[in-house]
């Protein structure tokens, strides 16, 4: 399959990036304090971090598909969100996105798989995406 255009590739590479940057966590709380204050188990906290990544990616992908609909049709994707690595009020989540589409002008299929790491910051008891790095 041919690779996506540079514009769509750039958008795909930033798909897991934040819709809005968080102000930053206070990292002063211990994991035990966070669990008690937020009434969460470690498993629930992990699931919440993963859900924040999934939601941010889905929102950004939907916006990208709408923006590029004149150039690409049949845009679809598979999102793979890995486990969260949580350290106090900060977390990272590894994942990948496989994008598929058809170039409207050439009728050729395009696509690719892009992996990366998403950074998150806890705001209260919720996770917000604060950054993304490819790789």
Query: Which sequence spans correspond to the domains of the chain?
Result: 6-134
Q: Which pLDDT does position 102 carry in this prediction?
A: 94
State the Cα–Cα distance between residues 115 and 124, nearest whole angstrom: 28
Closest to 114 in 3D by CA, of 68, 70, 73, 60: 60
Identify the helix (H) or strand (E) that includes residue 48. Answer: helix 42-67
> How many CB atoms are closer than 10 A to CB 10?
12
Residue 16 has pLDDT above 80, yes or no: no
- Measured in degrees and rounded to the nearest 5, phi and psi for residue 8 equal -70, -35
Q: Which pLDDT does position 28 carry in this prediction?
A: 62
Is it true that domain 6-134 has CATH number 3.10.450? yes
State the Cα–Cα distance between residues 135 and 115, nearest whole angstrom: 5
Residue 4 has pLDDT above 50, yes or no: no
State the Cα–Cα distance between residues 112 and 114, nearest whole angstrom: 7
Q: What is the pLDDT of residues 82-119, one digit of tens each?
A: 999 998 899 999 999 999 999 999 999 999 999 999 99
Q: What is the pLDDT of residues 17-74, one digit of tens each?
A: 333 233 334 456 777 787 788 888 999 999 999 999 999 999 988 888 888 889 999 9
Q: Which pLDDT does position 23 carry in this prediction?
A: 32
């Amino acid at each position: 399959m041919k690779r996506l255009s540079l514009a769509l590739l750039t958008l795909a590479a930033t798909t897991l990036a934040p819709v809005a940057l968080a102000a930053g966590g206070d990292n002063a709380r211990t994991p035990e304090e966070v669990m008690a204050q937020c009434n969460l188990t470690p498993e629930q906290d992990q699931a919440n971090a993963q859900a924040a990544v999934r939601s941010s990616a889905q929102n950004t992908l939907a916006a990208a598909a709408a923006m590029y609909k004149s150039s690409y049709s049949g845009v679809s994707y598979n999102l793979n969100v890995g486990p969260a690595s949580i350290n106090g009020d900060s977390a990272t989540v590894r994942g990948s996105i496989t994008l598929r589409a058809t170039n409207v002008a050439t009728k050729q299929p395009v696509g690719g798989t892009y992996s990366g790491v998403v950074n998150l910051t806890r705001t209260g008891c919720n996770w917000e995406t604060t950054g993304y790095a490819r790789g």
